[in-house]
A and B are shown apart, each in its own frame.
Chain A
Amino acid sequence: MFEFLNQPEVIKTIVTLGAMSLFFVGLFGLLTRKHIVKVFISIAIMESAIFLLFIGLSFNREKVAPIIDATQTQVATMNDPIPQAMILTAIVIGMAVLALGVSFAIEYYKLTGKTEIDTMNEMRF
């Protein structure tokens, strides 16, 4: 019943629209939310959007996952492994930065009691 959704062009359109809407949600959060945890959440959402966009636009529904086994030996029928490898790397890096950011935020809160990024202005004098 929804067969028309399986055409490659349609899938690519869905992925583009979906991932960009997700990116929009993240960007909106980044621009308007002030709480530090919300900012980190927004950044995580934006990152997910990029990951989904990349994998979604580079895959081909006709092809299989790039793993050779007894039934799949033809490389011509496999999906591109590079985007997957890149996103694997990017996910881990994003998590590392997130953990570090949270530890900064916790220590900062311990010292000053502030969690809103627009009140973080110890400097200016």
Chain B
Amino acid sequence: MTGFIILATFVGIIVVAFASIVQKRLADSVVFLMGVGLGSVVLFFLFKAPDVALTEAVIGAGVGTFIFLIALKHLGEQA
């Protein structure tokens, strides 16, 4: 099943990433980017890299999103 889950997660990540790029509302973009981070966590876990998965979870999906949200609070929400 590993191969299939990897394939499916990759497809999901790419769709979410594309949505994050083309989305007009920046808040949505940031939430989609968080989706990319979460998908990466799953993939890193499947790739037998629990340390990287943990790091990506706390940094990529956690603090990174917070930083982007702070940026939005200042810069306005429309692209």
Residue of A nearest to B7 (CB): A14
Contact indicator per residue, chain B 49-79, by CB within 8 Å of chain A (1) or not (0): 1111001100110011001101110111001
How far does the Cβ of B1 sit from chain A's closest Cβ, in whole Å? 7
Please report the C-alpha to C-alpha distance between residue A5 and residue B68 in the assembled complex, in whole angstroms: 36
- Is B59 in contact with A92, judged by CB distance below 8 angstroms? yes
Chain B interface mostly: helix
Contacts A6-B3, A14-B10; A36 near B75 (Cβ below 8 A):
yes
Contacts A6-B2, A18-B13, A38-B79; A48 near B36 (Cβ below 8 A):
yes
Residue of B nearest to A115 (CB): B75
- Is B79 in contact with A35, judged by CB distance below 8 angstroms? yes
- Is A5 in contact with B7, judged by CB distance below 8 angstroms? yes
Within 8 A of A (CB), among B25-40: 26, 29-30, 33, 36-37, 40
Please report the C-alpha to C-alpha distance between residue A63 and residue B46 in the assembled complex, in whole angstroms: 11
Within 8 A of B (CB), among A86-110: 87-88, 91-92, 95, 98-99, 102, 105-106, 109-110
Please report the C-alpha to C-alpha distance between residue A38 and residue B63 in the assembled complex, in whole angstroms: 17
Chain A interface mostly: helix
How far does the Cβ of B50 sit from chain A's closest Cβ, in whole Å? 5
Say yes or no: is A73 at the interface (Cβ < 8 Å to chain B).
Answer: no
- Which chain B residues border A88 with CB–CB below 8 Å? 51-52, 55
Binding site for A on B (CB under 8 A): 1-4, 6-7, 10-11, 13-14, 17-18, 20-21, 26, 29-30, 33, 36-37, 40, 43-44, 47-52, 55-56, 59-60, 63-64, 67-68, 70-72, 74-76, 79
